[in-house]
Amino acid sequence: MMEKIINKKQNAFGAKIPEIKEVFQNTDVEKYIIQRLTEVLEYLEVTDAKQVVDVVVKSAKHYDKVANYEKNIHQLFDQKRITQRIPIKLANRAQIMFSQIKPHILGHQVLDLGCGDGKIGELISKQGRHVVLADVYENGNISNIELPFVFTKQNGKLPFEDNFFDTTLVLTVLHHSNDPVEVITEARRVTKNNGRIIVIESVYGITEYSKNLNEEAQRLANLFFDHFYNRVIHYSEFEENKVNVPFNFQTPKAWKAFFEKYGLRQIKIENLGFDQPTVPEYHTLHVLEVRK
Ligand SMILES: C[S@@+](CC[C@H](N)C(=O)[O-])C[C@H]1O[C@@H](n2cnc3c(N)ncnc32)[C@H](O)[C@@H]1O
């Protein structure tokens, strides 16, 4: 069963994890959430987007228990058929991410660490590469993908030998993992010398994120939307099906220093921006060269 971190007070980098309702103590963040969430709902063709956002914000600010907010808003989104529209709008997500990483993949042996539904790995295997999927959670779609899938643990060694893979993908995984140091150290161990690790992360502290939010306010907005997408939209009453949200966000500068500390050279960074309209998180792509 996945270890859940939602009640922890600090993330892996020592930053405070506030309660969701505390995020609204910053009025700039509240305004930003209202604006972005309205845009997401309009993109999902919700006709009364403003009223729905009003209900979400009231519930997020005044819940007694966060679990009640998650459940109530999830039910509202189900009744209004909003939840059901998201997979349709997300249909080209894997293709978009594949196009982003394609120029940076090296060699034949590829590990997709934290593969989720495995669709990105599937597109890479169609290029003639050998792809291994690995995750701490078995996504319901994995059985539809004809690639080897390996269960891994939140903590501990990956079940692969040293220097096996030419390229390891860590795509929007680090902020979901309990121990990003262990994930990146293990990703490096199983990747060849001069091989690549490709990371996509949800970041904050970017000028073009929003002209009204400072660095900390952007972090709070990330926290709200990461929780909203993973715990409200993808709500589950079963503990083992709840998505791990330890909110391990960093700025691009801090990620670069982090990668370099653990023996990786960042040879390229790309600002992908808000590239997925249903999940309003700002993404960066980091191409890392393994140095051993
Ligand atoms: C946002 S999803 C991204 C899935 C996929 N990489 C993609 O971009 O479509 C994050 C994934 O990371 C996985 N994950 C979280 N912690 C992990 C860890 N320590 N090791 C491997 N996977 C992990 C989750 O189970 C989840 O499938």
Place 7 in a pLDDT band, splitting at 50, 70 and 90.
low
H or E element in which residue 181 lies: helix 180-190
Entry pTM: 0.95
Q: Which domain holds residue 128?
A: 93-204+244-290
Are residues 186 and 252 both part of a single domain?
A: yes
Are residues 158 and 132 both part of a single domain?
A: yes
Answer whether residue 246 shows pLDDT above 80: yes
Average pLDDT rounded to a whole number, residues 65-84: 95
The residue whose CB lies within 8 Å of the most ligand 1 atoms, and thus the one to mutate among 171, 176, 241, is: 176
Average pLDDT rounded to a whole number, residues 171-196: 97
The residue whose CA has the least distance to atom 21 of ligand 1 is 114
Contact present, 287 and 104 (Cβ < 8 Å): yes
Place 80 in a pLDDT band, splitting at 50, 70 and 90.
very high
Place 2 in a pLDDT band, splitting at 50, 70 and 90.
very low
Query: Using one digit for the tens of pLDDT, what is the confidence trace for 207-231?
Result: 999 989 999 999 999 999 999 999 9
β-strand partners of 16:
10
CA distance 191 to 197: 8
**What is the pLDDT, as a whole number, of residue 4?**
46
CA distance 262 to 255: 11
Are residues 248 and 143 both part of a single domain?
A: yes
**What is the pLDDT, as a whole number, of residue 74?**
97
Q: Does residue 80 fall inside a structural domain?
A: yes
Q: What is the mean pLDDT of the chain?
A: 94
Are residues 189 and 51 both part of a single domain?
A: no
In sequence order, what DSSP letters do the residues of 148-172 get, joined into one string? -EEE--SSS--SS-TT-EEEEEEES
Binding pocket residue ranges, ligand 1, CB within 6 Å? 97, 113-116, 120, 135-137, 152, 154, 171-173, 176-177, 183, 244
Q: Which of 158-162, 171-175, 273-277 has the lowest mean pLDDT?
A: 273-277
Answer whether residue 127 shows pLDDT above 70: yes
Are residues 99 and 85 both part of a single domain?
A: no
**What is the pLDDT, as a whole number, of residue 269?**
98
Answer whether residue 132 shows pLDDT above 50: yes
Rg of the chain on CA atoms, in Å: 19
Are residues 76 and 184 both part of a single domain?
A: no
Q: How many domains are contained in the chain?
A: 2
**What is the pLDDT, as a whole number, of residue 120?**
97
The residue whose CB lies within 8 Å of the most ligand 1 atoms, and thus the one to mutate among 173, 197, 201, 243, is: 173
Place 277 in a pLDDT band, splitting at 50, 70 and 90.
confident
Average pLDDT rounded to a whole number, residues 60-89: 94
